[in-house]
Structure 1
Amino acid sequence: MSNAGKDVSDWWATDIIDMAPGQIRLRGHPIEELIGNVTFPQMIWLMTRGGLPTPEQAKLLECALVAAVDHGPQAPSIAAARMAVTCGLGLNGAMASAVNMLDDVHGGAGEQAVELYGWIDDVMKDGVGLDQAAAKMIDRWQAERTVFVPGFGHRFHKPEDPRAPRLLGLVDAAAADGVVSGRFAEIGRAIQKILNTRKGKPVPMNIDGATAVVYAELGFAGQLARGLFCLSRSVGVIAHSWEQMNQGGRNKGPTPPAYRWSYTGPNPIDGQT
């Protein structure tokens, strides 16, 4: 190959896919061998991590993905998708509108929780006890980042988010079978205990905190945890978008037309300036 040709072929370098006429290999695996033999969660792991997980690891990953698919039209991402459909966008546009809203505040807490769990785990490796390490890193997080502890607290689900204990129970079972260590589940529970004590009331672990336990146990990086949440929530997005398409409606805003916003600017009619 000429240097010019190599310049072109090296413009994008990837370990992910090798493709030629009649041949597709993903991470070295011929696609025809993957089809019918590998589940979608296993495929996600293969593509993002480079190797195939055990069936038990894949099952735990699948549980986290299932848990986060939807949280109703009041969730900003779902609402945005439904509004987008009523404005004439197709499924791809609606899904893009929704996923673009899954940033630091809405959708990013899972990534942040994995990071916080990692801080606590690192301190414990230096011989600090679990409760002390958790309290110290909660303080650090609130001092350096935000008063909101990622993965904990919920506007609707009080005193408990029903998804969290189910996922933690599955992590416990996986830990008992030697699939994962279980230490991040312990970290998550320690954070919850400290927050409950400090607030004087239950501060439930939410879906971000629970899935972050799973992703940390399985060794996913924090940024991948956010990407996995986007993949999971996309299932709910496409379902709501399709439903809205079939329901119809045009130019639906965030509230019914009879409701108005609160105007706080000047009102010349009343002589206000």
Structure 2
Amino acid sequence: MSDVSDWWSTSIIDMEPGRIALRGHPVQDLIGQVTFPQMIWLMVRGQMPSPEQATLLECALVAAVDHGPQAPSIATARMAVTCGLGLNGAMASAVNMLDDVHGGAGEQAVELYGWIKDAVASGTPIEKATEQAIDHWQSERTRFIPGFGHRFHKPEDPRAPRLLSLVDEAASHGTVTGEFAAISRAVQTVLNTRKDKPVPMNIDGATAVIYAELGFEGPLARGLFCLSRSVGVIAHAWEQMQQGGRNKGPTPPDYRWTYTGDSENKDVD
């Protein structure tokens, strides 16, 4: 039997008929006693957060739930529904869109902030550490700095200042250190100076501050974003079900794509 029982090993759940324990907590003791953000933290981190930590996590989750049907993940969910998929299929299709470009910036921002934190810890002034980190990112990864810049929200993403103010408040109470908030503002300053115009911190940059302040690793920042955006996905998919429609593509049928191939050739050998 050990060959079977040891096939999977987990510290997350222990279960037998009539008993379920999650991270050592009987499930009946959790129901009605902990919030969903607390449950997320417990499941992925193995310990119960403080109420203040859970509240800050909840703020990040709330902020990123939706960004409209022009967002590829949301558009995918709505199109999937018109193709006959149910809610689970629509949600799966949408979450699969949340990769490095659309959905991965939060994870990448946590990584960038971590570079700067390590450099500062080794004695490099934060301004220099930030400039070096940005230069390295642009030379080794991409010219786009994760968590900054927005094609729609200019000059400011309204979500970012609110989230940073909540981090500042949490830091004043000792819930977090505030070091990643300072790092993100240093990145903002360097980018604004280099561009000679505002480069707004976006939702990924702001939630990355919260996730990093709370000690979540970069990959978990992406996973948490997927959880958050799934709320918008299910809302849009359900709305599309109520609206109806069949086989809706990304553009109305009267609009055509740009053809860049050869002109029509009717000669057939």
TM surpasses 0.5? yes
Q: Of 74, 77, 83, which aligns to 2:70?
A: 74
Work out whether 1:158 is the aligned partner of 2:154. yes
Work out whether 1:107 is the aligned partner of 2:103. yes
Residue in structure 1 matched with residue 144 of structure 2 by the alignment: 148
| Cα distance in structure 2, aligned partners of 1:229 and 1:176 | 26
How many percent of aligned residue pairs carry the same amino acid? 77
| Cα distance in structure 1, aligned partners of 2:126 and 2:38 | 32
TM-score (norm 1): 0.97
Q: Which runs of 5+ in 2 are unaligned?
A: none
| Cα distance in structure 2, aligned partners of 1:116 and 1:83 | 34
Shift of 1:267: 1.1
Q: Secondary structure of 1:42's match?
A: helix
| Cα distance in structure 2, aligned partners of 1:255 and 1:125 | 50
Which AA in structure 2 matches 1:210? A
Which AA in structure 2 matches 1:56? E
Which AA in structure 2 matches 1:213? V
Q: Of 182, 191, 194, which aligns to 1:195?
A: 191
Work out whether 1:63 is the aligned partner of 2:59. yes
Q: What is the Cα-based RMSD across aligned positions, in Å?
A: 0.9
Q: Which runs of 5+ in 1 are unaligned?
A: none
Q: Of 10, 22, 38, which aligns to 2:18?
A: 22
| Cα distance in structure 2, aligned partners of 1:18 and 1:40 | 20
TM-score (norm 2): 0.98
Q: How does 1:1-273 map to 2 (within 5 A)?
A: 5-269=1-265
Shift of 1:105: 0.1
Shift of 1:270: 9.2
Shift of 1:268: 2.9
1:50-86 Cα shifts (integer Å, max 9, x gaps): 0000000000000000000000000000000000000
| Cα distance in structure 1, aligned partners of 2:227 and 2:159 | 18
Which AA in structure 2 matches 1:246? Q
Shift of 1:269: 4.5
| Cα distance in structure 1, aligned partners of 2:110 and 2:242 | 38
Q: Secondary structure of 1:153's match?
A: coil
Which AA in structure 1 matches 2:246? R
| Cα distance in structure 1, aligned partners of 2:177 and 2:126 | 15
| Cα distance in structure 1, aligned partners of 2:266 and 2:202 | 47
